[in-house]
Structure 1
Amino acid sequence: MVFVRTTPPRPVQVTAVFPELAPLARPAIRLHPRPGSPSVRDSSVGGPLLWPAGEPWPHCEDVHLHVDTGFRESLTEVRLQRRLQSGWRPGDRPPAYTAEEAALKERAAAQLAERLDAGPPWPAECPVPLLPVAQLFLRDIPLLRPPGQADLLQVLWCPYEHEPDCKPATAVFWRSAAEVGDILAIPPEPYEADYPGYVPEPCVLAPETITEYPNSLDLSPELQRMLEDWNRWQAAGACVDSSYAQYPREFYSLHLGNAPGWKVGGWPPWGRTDPYPRHCAACGEQMVPLLTIASREWDGGEGRSWAPQEEQATALDGSRGRGQYPSQPTRVEVGSTDNMQIYVCPTAPEHPHTDLIQ
């Protein structure tokens, strides 16, 4: 890891105001992915995987029909467009493709036309090679609890939406890095993605350990009522803007509960649904959050308080200089700027995982 990102101190020490929340503290590691050039030996988002040459690359075996959503693009087009955007600033003359890039784009367009000429229902390639989403080494992310001698987590997904929840299908692999000999040099890739947001931008990481408290929806009715007691906040001397007097629980949710962004461990970011336990299909144990795949590292408005100290100026400015997206470095977008959470069995992480959009 070659750079550091630091979560600003929270505006209020929550356990000083509500000591009842102290037993609910959980460790989490914010990954702070930022665009870069990770290698197969690095922890990364969207980077190359330390994948054995002799092990088949995972594919999605579902049937994928080509439905013209108006968003589907080849991976070549997605990457070329991002390359142009990265060098463009509003007011500048739009950059042009290089001759090599123009040839790639023309080739991709010709391949798409050939597929469409086959006539409906335009079946997508099947099985579909999965795309790398995250690679995490235990040395960088000590909160991981791998099975056996494993020290490496690899997460991939199929960049097509799958019923019934309209989200990419995910795959989780645990392995021992030391046991990987020859490395697969050129993994297969899917021809296209349902949305550009299903193609992660290669990012290096700056892991940071923090302490999290539950989303307010995860609290008991008694604790929720406690957070809504403005007199309790005032009696503790908490410096909370009086604009929150009517809804002090909102202040907790925005600034003090679970952190936004890509992270390992911690508490779930509920919102699309109320909390409900997820149980391991193999043993019935209640599953725990492993990885949060986030559409945003922080939200606009007051949610910018979670932006790292090193990037507060950029976050507060809210502009998009030279095609950069400060709060969306991975360019991943799931749901309606939601989060996807990977859950695993706490007693046997090798049991089948599950995922959820929130």
Structure 2
Amino acid sequence: MSRTTPPRPLDVEAFFPELAEHRGTATRLHPRPGGPTAADSSVGGPLRWPADEPWPVCGEFHGVGEGRRPADVRRLRRLLSALGDRPRTERELVLIAELGRLHRMPDPLAPVPLIALAQLYRRDVPDLPPGPDGCDLLQVFWCPFETHGPGRYERELVLRWRRSAEVGRVLAAAPEPPVVGSEHLLPEPCVLHPQRVVVHQFAGLLPEGLCARLDAWDEANEAAARAAGTRPVDYQEDLSIPPGWRVGGFASWHATDPYPVDCPVCGTAMRLLLVIDSSEAGGGSWAPVEDRGGPVEWSSCPTWVQIGDLCELNVFDCPADPAHPPRWCIQ
């Protein structure tokens, strides 16, 4: 089933015509559990990866390399989904504890296979820019651990561009790490329902006078809605940037003050490439039409990927040369 973002509650450019200069588009990916193939854009699905090409690995030091086995993580998810909210039997509690047990890497110094997080075909995602030398397929990986070296807590994120038509025999089964540092680094296979939407710049990056007028407008809307007992329309929540996984558009800077994100190689101002979000919650008016009135699965975490405390990871690339390394920030 496709996913459709409802029309915005109002046309904000009718109130603030100058916002037309700060308008853009983004493609909401709407990942939902499914059975994607290597020929599909997906989160957590199999990749169109050449069988004769080495799989990317992380060679950093991950401490003792302690974590949970991927097969145990997947089995526990299936078990908890089947059990629902009913009380657990003693046997089920023992099994849950066993599947949640931590294990150590056989060799903590050995390179660790990266996790295939997502792959995106340009044919499916309107706002995905072309890759270097006309590449049309983006593959995204990250390390199964967030700790790299003594006292260094950060993510290892890798982007690979390729021409999909040039991939011959596809790798039958991707290698997996023996353990993952957190279950939230292991995505569930999800099919995508890409949809392009109109977005507007984050309020804090708009011209100062326009931002002040929007703040006053939001306050007036809130007061009127409070008097009427209705939900107010808010620029940032309803008219600017949608929640959820998306490609392109504008970054939200709701957790920190905005700061420049420049290419570490050439110094070019980088563009927002991909947003990896913990959920599609956080903006009621953005809920897909098809999900309204039913289970609130849309607002949970169908990918099982969680960034920090339900945050989002903004991934930036270099518009001058997409082959330059990406940068990212958490919001």
Q: What range is the shorter-chain TM-score in?
A: 0.7 to 0.9
Distance 1:253 1:311 in 2: 22
Q: Flag the 1:182–1:42 CA change in 2: closer, same or farther, 3 A.
A: same
Distance 2:90 2:47 in 1: 31
Task: Give the conservation status (yes or no) of the 8 Å contact 2:33–2:191.
Answer: yes
For the pair 1:307 / 2:287, whether they are aligned, the reply is yes
TM (norm. structure 1) is: 0.82
Task: Give the conservation status (yes or no) of the 8 Å contact 2:64–2:108.
Answer: yes
For the pair 1:42 / 2:25, whether they are aligned, the reply is no
Task: Give the conservation status (yes or no) of the 8 Å contact 2:280–2:298.
Answer: no
Distance 1:123 1:357 in 2: 31
For the pair 1:334 / 2:313, whether they are aligned, the reply is no
For the pair 1:279 / 2:254, whether they are aligned, the reply is no
Please point out which of 176, 190, 194 is paired with 2:177. 190
**Aligned partner letter, 1:254:** E
For the pair 1:155 / 2:145, whether they are aligned, the reply is no
Equivalent residue, structure 1, for 2:276 = 293
Equivalent residue, structure 2, for 1:265 = 248
**Aligned partner letter, 2:115:** L
**Aligned partner letter, 1:75:** P
Equivalent residue, structure 1, for 2:237 = 254
Equivalent residue, structure 1, for 2:126 = 142
Distance 2:304 2:146 in 1: 17
Distance 1:59 1:244 in 2: 57
Q: What runs of 5+ residues in structure 1 fail to find an aligned partner?
A: 117-121, 319-323
**Aligned partner letter, 2:35:** S
For the pair 1:79 / 2:56, whether they are aligned, the reply is no
Q: How many residues align?
A: 322
**Aligned partner letter, 1:332:** V
Task: Give the conservation status (yes or no) of the 8 Å contact 1:135–1:152.
Answer: yes
Task: Give the conservation status (yes or no) of the 8 Å contact 1:342–1:356.
Answer: yes
Q: Flag the 1:190–1:325 CA change in 2: closer, same or farther, 3 A.
A: farther
- The Cα shift of 1:156 comes to 0.4
For the pair 1:61 / 2:59, whether they are aligned, the reply is yes
What whole-Å deviation, never above 9, does each CA across 1:193-232 have from its counterpart, x for those lacking one? 22111111110000000010122222232222011223x9
What whole-Å deviation, never above 9, does each CA across 1:73-109 have from its counterpart, x for those lacking one? 2211110111112223223766988xxxx8xx78x96
Kindly report the root-mean-square deviation, in angstroms, between the aligned alpha carbons of the 2 structures.
3.0
Distance 2:48 2:166 in 1: 10
Task: Give the conservation status (yes or no) of the 8 Å contact 2:9–2:233.
Answer: no
**Aligned partner letter, 1:334:** I
Distance 1:348 1:33 in 2: 28
* Farther-moved stretch of structure 1 (170-179 vs 183-192): 183-192
For the pair 1:173 / 2:173, whether they are aligned, the reply is no
TM (norm. structure 2) is: 0.88
Structure 1 segment 1-40 matched on structure 2, within 5 A: 3-40=1-38
Structure 1 segment 188-227 matched on structure 2, within 5 A: 188-227=175-214
Q: Give secondary structure in 1 for the equivalent of 2:177.
A: coil
* Farther-moved stretch of structure 1 (31-40 vs 280-289): 280-289
Equivalent residue, structure 1, for 2:83 = 88
Q: What runs of 5+ residues in structure 2 fail to find an aligned partner?
A: none
Please point out which of 104, 107, 115 is paired with 1:131. 115
Identity percentage over the alignment?
41
- The Cα shift of 1:355 comes to 1.4
- The Cα shift of 1:160 comes to 0.7
- The Cα shift of 1:352 comes to 1.5
Distance 1:282 1:344 in 2: 11
Task: Give the conservation status (yes or no) of the 8 Å contact 1:216–1:249.
Answer: no
Q: Flag the 1:244–1:198 CA change in 2: closer, same or farther, 3 A.
A: farther
